[in-house]
Amino acid sequence: MSRAERLRGYLGRLLGWTSTSAIDHALRSIDLARKHRAQLVLCGQGDLVPLAYGLHRRALGAEAPFVVCDPRRGNTPASVRSPANYVDVVAAFEAASGGSLCVRLRRRPPDFASLITRLRDSEDVQYICIDGDLSQWLVRPGPIEVPPLSEREGDIPRIVDEYVHDATVELASAPRSLALTQDDRKWLVEHAATTSLSEIEKSALRLVALRSSMHLSHAAARLGMAPVSLSRWAARRNLPTFPDAARAA
């Protein structure tokens, strides 16, 4: 499958596979951003950084840097769970050279104006900004608006399946011997697909890690998180961490 086909397929996941006009509109917006002729604006519910990261990987490639500039998160390296974050605008801009720099407009850095100036003069950094409010944006061809999951109930099983596939590839899991069961997929539909696409993505990644690891500490290490945090996440959602006693041995 070509990069263009993968990008179009991913936009179908975000916007609806039958929403061809919305997909075509999004492709025009991405093309302008890729050519540094406009910023890419992404709007919708939930945490949109994972969606922006997914667009970046399919539009520019996984090898191109994707950097977030969020002053609330602190300086954190990239992991399987999240992209790198920089508090300092200059450091974020330099780290994003050849790739994308993502800013949550509700958490914009104090020196946001200087970042905009740098971006306007740059041919090396694509700018992605994300927010839940469309009203302030008058960009052309316009923002990419991700519809809420409540409007796409019929698509949810396919969305879950695609995120499970992505998680299996990301974690290099063995898809035949350690595939998710139908009960696991049902759990994702019932517990993760009630809020946002980013919640489905996060839950699928963690569930695949749990089901393809011999113990919880191994799963947590693969995810780059503390075992106690993963255990608490599963407990809050009534998820049996290792229902098969043989697997936990």
> pLDDT tens for residues 121-150?
778 888 877 775 544 544 556 789 999 999
Q: How confident is the model at residue 249 (pLDDT cuts 50, 70, 90)?
A: very low
Cβ distance 32 to 82 under 8 Å?
A: no
**Average pLDDT of 236-249?**
58
Q: How would you classify residue 94: left for phi > 0, otherwise alpha for psi between -120 and 50, otherwise beta?
A: alpha
Nearest to 237 by CA among 215, 212, 204: 204
Q: Where are the beta strands (DSSP E) in the chain?
A: 40-43, 66-69, 84-86, 100-104, 126-131, 144-145
Q: Would you state the torsion angle of the CA atoms of residues 75, 131, 162, 21, taken in this order, to the nearest 10 degrees? A: -140
- Predicted pLDDT of residue 68: 94
- Predicted pLDDT of residue 181: 87
Task: Please state, in angstroms and rounded to a whole number, the distance separating the CA atoms of residues 200 and 202.
Answer: 6
Residue 14 neighbours by CB distance under 10 Å: 23
Nearest to 69 by CA among 55, 54, 84, 86: 86
Task: Please state, in angstroms and rounded to a whole number, the distance separating the CA atoms of residues 41 and 134.
Answer: 9
Q: Tens digits of per-residue pLDDT, 175-226?
A: 444 568 888 999 999 888 888 999 999 999 999 999 988 889 999 999 999 9
- Predicted pLDDT of residue 173: 66
Sorted by sequence, the CB contacts under 8 Å of residue 52 that are 6+ apart come out as 40, 42, 66, 100, 102, 128, 130
**Average pLDDT of 104-127?**
82
Residue 114 has pLDDT above 90, yes or no: no
Residue 129 has φ and ψ, to the nearest 5°, of: -120, 145
Tokens standing for 212?
């393809």
- Predicted pLDDT of residue 51: 94
Q: Tens digits of per-residue pLDDT, 47-103?
A: 899 999 999 999 999 899 999 999 988 899 988 888 999 999 999 999 999 999 999
Task: Please state, in angstroms and rounded to a whole number, the distance separating the CA atoms of residues 10 and 3.
Answer: 10
**Average pLDDT of 146-171?**
93
* Domains, the chain, ordered by start: 3-146 (3.40.50), 150-248 (no CATH)
- Predicted pLDDT of residue 110: 85
Residue with tokens 């993963």: 230
- Predicted pLDDT of residue 133: 52
Beta bridge partners of 40: 128
